[in-house]
Structure 1
Amino acid sequence: MRYALFENQRDALLLVARLLLMLLFVLFGFSKLTDYTGTSAYMAAEGLPLPMLAAAVVIAMEFFVGLAIVLGFWTRPLALLLALYTLGTALVAHHYWTMGGADRMANMINFYKNLSIIGGLLLLCLTGPGRYSIDRR
């Protein structure tokens, strides 16, 4: 009874949560999509093998998977896949333990933000997208 307000608004809150959780992925994925050459160059600078393929994977995961989750399409499996991707990103791009000075602190913050995002994605995987989704249609 204490949480009746939340239960009555469950589907709307799940929609808002999906939108907010995917905002970062869709915005930055779109910027990478519209600057594929720059994204590939960044992947090369980070030392990733096959930077053009890495850029394509990053764009697919951030923009297209992000949009699918916003729409509530295959939400549970894609949320799990995006959680694994986000863990990989944290380990590859935000390895603060190898850095010093200001870079260490900035990357430590981003590393733990990624872990927090993973927590949200795992909750979404558990709860599902709610009524306002393609999955429910």
Structure 2
Amino acid sequence: MKTTNTAVIRAARALIAVLFLIAGIRKLLAWNATTAYFSALGIPFPKLALPVTILIELGGAIALIAGWRIRAVAWGMAVFTLGSALIAHRFWLADPVTFGNQLNHFLKNLAIAGGFLLLAQSAPPVEQRDAS
């Protein structure tokens, strides 16, 4: 018999969501600086990429907290987080001074993506659950 502690799962979703909620808010409040940072990273169309990124971060965080379409949101956030690791934390191109920091951020993103994959796998299908 499989038992699930829904309070722990809700707390886990909220804890992972807070990272993206804060990141989205910070990007929103530092719009011009973030656009410049996206440009420096070589992200194409940074003025378009920024609102899309903010929407994904804020929307994904709110959806996780609310328990809305957890599987789909977790899959999407896993892909987003892996993409962010590959685009923003290219430790293999970093100079010796920033190498360790970029490697840690890259690995952190991999771990978060792993958490999202676990969440996507363990969440019940939409038709079998309420907003838990």
TM-score range normalised by the length of the shorter chain: 0.7 to 0.9
- Hey, what does 2:89 align to over in structure 1? 94
Large movers: runs of 4+ above 4 Å: none
**TM-score scaled by structure 2?**
0.88
1:19-98 correspondence to structure 2 within 5 Å = 19-98=14-93
The one-letter code sitting in structure 1 at the alignment partner of 2:5 is R
Higher RCO, 1 vs 2 (CA within 8 Å, ≥6 residues apart)? 1
- Please say if residues 78 and 113 of structure 2, whose CA atoms lie closer than 8 Å, have aligned partners that are also in contact: yes
Q: In angstroms, what is the RMSD of aligned CA positions?
A: 2.0
Structure-2 separation of matches of 1:38 and 1:98:
22
Gaps of at least 5 residues in structure 2 are none
The one-letter code sitting in structure 2 at the alignment partner of 1:26 is L
Structure-1 separation of matches of 2:121 and 2:64:
14
**What is the deviation of 1:46?**
1.5
**What is the deviation of 1:12?**
0.3
Q: Percent identity?
A: 36
Structure-2 separation of matches of 1:127 and 1:32:
31
